[in-house]
Structures are given as structure tokens and as C-alpha cells.
Structure 1
Amino acid sequence: MTGPEQPRRSGLRNPERSVRSLGAATLSIEALVLLLAIQPIRVVGANLSGAAIGTVVALAVLGAVLAGMMRRPWAWHAGTVLQGLLLLSGLLHWSLLVLGIIFALVWGYALHVRRVILG
């Protein structure tokens, strides 16, 4: 008998900080991509309304705010809600749905890494 099992170490000096940084980086990149996507979406889909542009800007701002709040335990859940909202914005334009799918997959991977590292 070897005694109680020790939790598996990740090899990181500060695993919580590393995971928070991953979440913040993911949301920051998402916010940046959303802002940079506005003009190409307008050029490709001339029917992009002011409400759709406002929605994209609001989602980008929300992503940037959440990136700065990753120390809060609820921020991971809010990030998941953000991905759902981005997927729903696909009703405004098909390219937003594509971005929503891509970032939902990236966010899912970040959640997976969080679960593996932190347990």
C-alpha cells in the first residue's frame, strides 16, 4: 500500500494563473477579431445593419471586459454565455455564425485545458 494518492502536478509554477491567462488571451483575441471583422463583413454582406454592427461591437467590448475579470470565478461562465451570444448573432449574418463556431470551439478547448490542469 502506497498511501494516499497525490494529485497530479501540472509542472507549472502557478497553474491557476496560467489558466486565467489562457482564458483572458482567448477572450482578448476574440474581441480583437470581432472588431477587425466589421469592415470585411460589411463589404461581403452589404445587408449588415447598424444593429448588427452594434451587436458585434457590444460583444467585443463584453469580451474585453471579461478578459480583464478572469480572476472572478463567474467569469468562465460568463465567457461561455458570450460564446452562445456570438452564435446567436449568426442570425444577423452568416459570417457571425462562422466566427461563433470557431470561437466556441476555441473556448471549449480552453475549458478543457482548465479542467485538465486544475482538476
Structure 2
Amino acid sequence: MTAPEQPGGPSAQPGASPGQSGGAPRRSGLRNPERAVRGLGAGTLVLEALVLVLAIQPIRVVGGGLSGAAVAAVLALAVAAVLLAGLMRRPWAWHAGTVLQGLLMLAGLLHWSLLVLGIVFALVWAYALHVRRVILG
């Protein structure tokens, strides 16, 4: 007596993941995966903008030495993040969001805490890009 064949066993298509039959598109279980991914990207950018704006005063008080140029850079990056959040329907907005993370890390030249925030949000953005790739393929 042979054991029942498991999904993804010998009869499965090469390269297909477990539970998939040959050539069938991968389903995420979401009604509108593109919209869900756009929401993830927009939410990430809005959260980043909020954290940037709220971080100005604590950085000035605790970190000391936050110059006017650094405050202006933080505000400009926060505005850019909000604008990009509204433009997530455009395919290039994902690339622009990646550039925004690089600019925030570059702002670390103005104050070390901006580099820390840049690294944290670059990791969050990388995770959002990973989720986008997994869901949309």
C-alpha cells in the first residue's frame, strides 16, 4: 500500500510551491491584492512622516544641536513622505519611497539621530517591499 500523495509531491510542476497545481496563479486570499499593497506602502510612509515630525522636539531637547537645516530637512522629508503616500497608485512611487529612505539616512550627516531613524525606516520599507513582492509576485 502506498502513502497518499502530498501536495507538491512528484506530480507537481517543477518550480510550483506546495499547494499549487501546475500554472495556476498564486492567490493571496485578498480581494484586491494591489490595493492592499498600496495601503501598506502608504501607511508606512504616513507613519514615517508622523514619526519624523514628532521627533523634532525630542531630538532638539535630548540630542542637542539640531540645526535649522536639519529641522528643514526633516520637515521636507515628512512632506515628501505624505505626498508619496498619496501617489502609491503610480508604479514609480515605490522607487521614490526607496530614494526617500536613502535621503533620510543621508540627513544623518546633519544629526546622528536622523541616521538612526533612516536605518529603522529603511528596514521597515524593505519589509514592505518584500511583502509587495510576495503578494504581487
Residue identity opposite 2:105 in structure 1: L
* Long gaps (5+) in structure 2: 1-10, 13-20
Give the CA RMSD over aligned residues.
1.3
Residue identity opposite 1:64 in structure 2: V
- State TM-score, norm by structure 1: 0.96
- Kindly indicate whether structure 1 or structure 2 has the higher relative contact order, using CA contacts under 8 Å at least 6 residues apart: 1
| Partner residue in 2 for 1:107 | 125
Pick the structure with greater CA Rg: 2
Moved >3 Å (runs of 4+) = 1-4
Q: Give the helix-richer structure, 1 or 2.
A: 1
| Partner residue in 1 for 2:34 | 16
Alpha-carbon shift at residue 112 of structure 1 (Å): 0.1
- State TM-score, norm by structure 2: 0.84
Identity of aligned residues (%): 77
Residue identity opposite 2:57 in structure 1: Q
Alpha-carbon shift at residue 45 of structure 1 (Å): 2.5
**2:59 maps to 1:41:** yes
For residues 117 and 45 of structure 1, the distance between their equivalents in structure 2, rounded to whole angstroms, comes to 40
TM alignment of 1:88-99, pairs within 5 A: 88-99=106-117
| Partner residue in 1 for 2:8 | none
Residue identity opposite 1:33 in structure 2: V
Residue identity opposite 2:75 in structure 1: V
